[in-house]
């Protein structure tokens, strides 16, 4: 089973307020959002399993992103194989890109080790969000691969 890191490009059609576990009611503005996650565990926690789970509509709510995906849509996932914990480095690079607004504090970052604050960011540029994420991956020495929703 493959270990790795991923960024979901999530389309939020209209602004919403959703309950997100311990974060409580959370405002999510309409737009394109990036969510950074990783799958470094064994077996059912493989990268393939995690991505399949995020694209699925029917799932038990477990992570912060699950709350958002009840009302939003994953369009694309950019991922790379890695046995190293790269989630926070990718999130920081996205936040330092100058084309995003950080999402709600603590979202997806409860196990953050380097002070990301959040692993959810809203894209604000006219550029291609997919190209930006792929560039972030390559700049960190990762080989990005893409998976798109086919439904």
Delimit the domains of the chain by residue range: 4-148
**CA 94 to chain centroid:** 11
Q: What is the pLDDT of residues 39-76, one digit of tens each?
A: 987 766 789 989 999 999 888 998 999 999 999 989 99
* Vertex 66: Cα angle to 60 and 69 (nearest 5): 120
- d(Cα 16, Cα 37) in Å, to the nearest integer? 22
pLDDT (average), residues 112-126: 87
**The model's pTM:** 0.94
């Amino acid at each position: 089973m493959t270990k790795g890191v991923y960024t979901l490009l999530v389309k939020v059609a209209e602004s919403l307020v959703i309950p997100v576990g311990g974060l409580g009611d959370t405002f999510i503005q309409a737009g394109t959002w990036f969510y950074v996650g990783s799958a470094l565990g064994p077996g059912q926690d493989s990268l393939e399993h995690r991505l399949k789970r995020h694209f699925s509509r029917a799932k038990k709510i477990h992570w912060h992103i699950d709350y958002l995906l009840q009302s939003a849509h994953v369009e694309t996932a950019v991922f790379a194989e890695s046995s190293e914990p790269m989630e926070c480095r990718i999130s920081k690079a996205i936040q330092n890109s100058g084309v995003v607004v950080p999402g709600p504090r603590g979202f997806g970052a409860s196990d953050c080790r380097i002070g990301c604050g959040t692993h959810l960011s809203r894209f604000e540029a006219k550029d291609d969000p997919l190209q930006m994420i792929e560039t972030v991956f390559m700049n960190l020495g990762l080989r990005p691969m893409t998976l798109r929703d086919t439904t």
